[in-house]
Amino acid sequence: MPNRELFSVSADELDGRCVLRPVGELDVAAVPEMQARMSKLLEDCPNLEIDLGEVTFLDSSGLRLLLDAKQRCAQAEGRLTLSNPSGEVLRVIDLTGLTPVLL
């Protein structure tokens, strides 16, 4: 069973966009919760910002979630913005060659 103390996510609506604020490890255990929150927001808000400032770890499933968010926003004629990525998150995005795609 995943350790729920390692991850939480909050959501706000701000100036016509929705902002998700994950905290902790965005990994295989956290993706279902993040995906559920994201899906609910995207029903009414195609412009999504994910504030990554408090994400301490990002694995391939978390990276896949970010790519999925970008695609879903584009399909809804909106935009995904990733803000405040930590050094750890930037390193993963850079190592995978996805900097031009996600940032």
Enumerate domains of the chain plus CATH numbers: 8-102 (3.30.750.24)
Using CA atoms, how far apart are residues 6 and 34, in angstroms rounded to an integer? 13
CB 83 within 8 A of CB 49: yes
Query: Where is average pLDDT lowest: 38-42, 53-57, 90-94?
Result: 38-42
pLDDT tens across 37-46, in order?
999 998 889 9
pLDDT for the residue numbered 5? 61
Angle between helices 60-75 and 31-42 (to 10 degrees): 10
Calpha distance 3→29 (Å, rounded): 8
Tens digit of each residue's pLDDT (9 = 90 or more) over 57-78 = 999 999 999 999 999 999 999 9
pLDDT at 36 over 80: yes
